[in-house]
Amino acid sequence: MLTFNWEEYKKFREFTSQTDKLKIAIDFMRSYYNVNSPQEMYDMLVRDDVGEMMLNKKDISDGHDLENFMYQSIEK
């Protein structure tokens, strides 16, 4: 079971032009953990207090909501 590494996330965040912390977290999980499934990303974030707070802030309650968020981010 993967756990979110916030120290590596902070280093990753320094080199991105993104401003949305959840989008950065998604990019980080794709890059650092090679996780591409929205459900796996959701499961990983919801097990972490800070990750859960990020999801709640965007009203994301399951993997499907996260997938919709990711899709909407691409459209913009």
Would residue 22 count as lying in a domain?
A: yes
pLDDT of residue 76: 55
pTM of the model: 0.89
Q: How confident is the model over 33-63, as pLDDT tens digits?
A: 999 999 999 999 999 999 999 999 999 999 9
d(CA 14, CA 11) in angstroms, rounded, equals 5
The answer to whether residue 7 sits within a structural domain is no
In a domain, 55, yes or no: yes
65 part of a folded domain: yes
Is 43 within a domain? Answer: yes
- Domain membership of residue 44 (yes or no) is yes
Residue whose pair of structure tokens reads 């959701």 in the numeric block: 42
- As for how many domains the chain has, the answer is 1
For residue 70, is it within any domain?
Answer: yes
Q: Whole domain around residue 33: which residue ranges?
A: 17-75
Average pLDDT value for residue range 24-40: 95
- 6 within a domain of the structure (yes/no): no
C-alpha distances in angstroms, 26 versus 3, 52, 53, 68? 14, 13, 14, 13
- H-helix segments, 1-76: 6-13, 21-32, 38-46, 49-57, 63-75
